Amino acid sequence: MGKLIGILTAGGDTPGLNAAIRAIGKAAIGVYGMEVIGFRDGFRGLMENRFIDLDSKALSGILTVGGTILGTSRDKPHKMQVGSKIMDMTDVIVDNYHKHHLDALICLGGGGTQKNAYHLHKHGLNIITLPKTIDNDVAGTDVTFGFDTALGIATEAIDRLHSTAHSHHRIIVVEIMGHRAGWLALGAGVSGGADVILIPEIPYDTDVVVESILQRSRAGKNFSIVAIAEGSESKNIHTLRLDLEKKLKETKDLSEQEKIKNDMKDINSLHANNTIRLAKKLEEITGLESRVTILGHLQRGGSPSAADRLLATRLGTAAARLVHEGQFGIMVASKGKKAVPVPLEKIVGKKKTVPLHHPWIESARFVGTCMGDNLKG
């Protein structure tokens, strides 16, 4: 009898998940004679032992479909809500793994999933992960599947916003996802010809942004497109956050720690409306009407791009091969043209952010894009 592997998808839904499931399953069944089951709704489904057989019929016709046929959730094995309590369900998950006599568990997800999968690996499970997220912020891999599709959607949105901004002489501020990494906003901003691009890696000076827009206005360009990553923040807020984080590390006083944590929560609440506040301020100072477009979960949906289908298929088939070879405790990463195993211990807890001298940033500056600071190309 061949090996039996389980698959689950965790975290946010991402284009390309079904392509990866299909690739793992078809390679495992067709090439290596394995059997495959899928657990529903991430780690929660594994805990509750909810699964389906992933045979050839189940894997047929899903390559082009967005989302995930298995469903997903953000539940953590060691911090899972059960009724009204938050409980450590690691032992239950380990038991279910062994009850199925699984030879391996393949977890598809972003940074949080890598961490949760590594937690299970340390409890004796044979784990392999695949990196997926539209944020492209998983360490150890050149790119994550889902990113290219979201990049195309965000770029098309900016393209469409150009016409209405030009027609009405407006400032259009478009908020793009990406969590605390600027890959998506930067890529879409450069591709879509945004006039201002604001990313978390470069805290912005509002006065610099205002001056950039006023310069365009003085040159006869009565509209501007501002692409802002959801995690971007002003220099003032960024400095305040860093000061609080430093104080929290240095203080031993529990009451002082609690006060600092509350102050940090206030900053996070303030940040929730950051894009809208910025748009209002730009309108007040420049005299140009401003409008806000928040793309939100629109960027997660739809059929995966050709690039994401190729990447998911490449990584998925490599995962099946690595199970056959008995390599575990790894993430299958994209490195150049190769799919290579990277030890989970080297990537968990790390985030891949945009380097300040990345070619995309340098190119943006050279074409005159304002990055929210005073630096030029």
C-alpha–C-alpha distance, residues 20 and 260, integer Å: 43
Bridge partner residues of 351 (DSSP): 138
Q: Which two tokens stand for residue 266?
A: 């206030």
Rounded to an integer, what distance in angstroms lies between the CA atom of residue 100 and that of residue 283?
60
DSSP string, 227-273: EEETT--BHHHHHHHHHHHHHHHH---HHHHHHHHHHHHHHHHHHTT
Bridge partner residues of 196 (DSSP): 226, 370
C-alpha 343/C-alpha 63 separation (Å) is: 28
The 3-state secondary structure of 46-81, one letter per residue: HHCCCEEECCHHHHCCCCCCCCCCCCCCCCECCEEE
Which listed residue (88, 91, 103, 135) is catalytic?
Answer: 135
CA 347, 350, 356, 359 torsion-angle sign: positive
Rounded CA-CA distance 10/116 in Å is: 10
Cα–Cα distances in Å, from 65 out to 9, 133, 269, 298, 305?
Answer: 15, 16, 36, 15, 10
Q: Confirm whether 195 is a catalytic residue.
A: no
Nearest-angstrom CA–CA distance, 207 and 334: 40
Q: 112 burial class (0-12, 13-18, 19+ CB within 10 angstroms)?
A: middle
Buried b or exposed e, range 164-176, using 16+ CB within 10 angstroms: ebeeeebbbbbbb
Cα–Cα distance between 114 and 127 in angstroms, integer? Answer: 10
Active site residues: 135
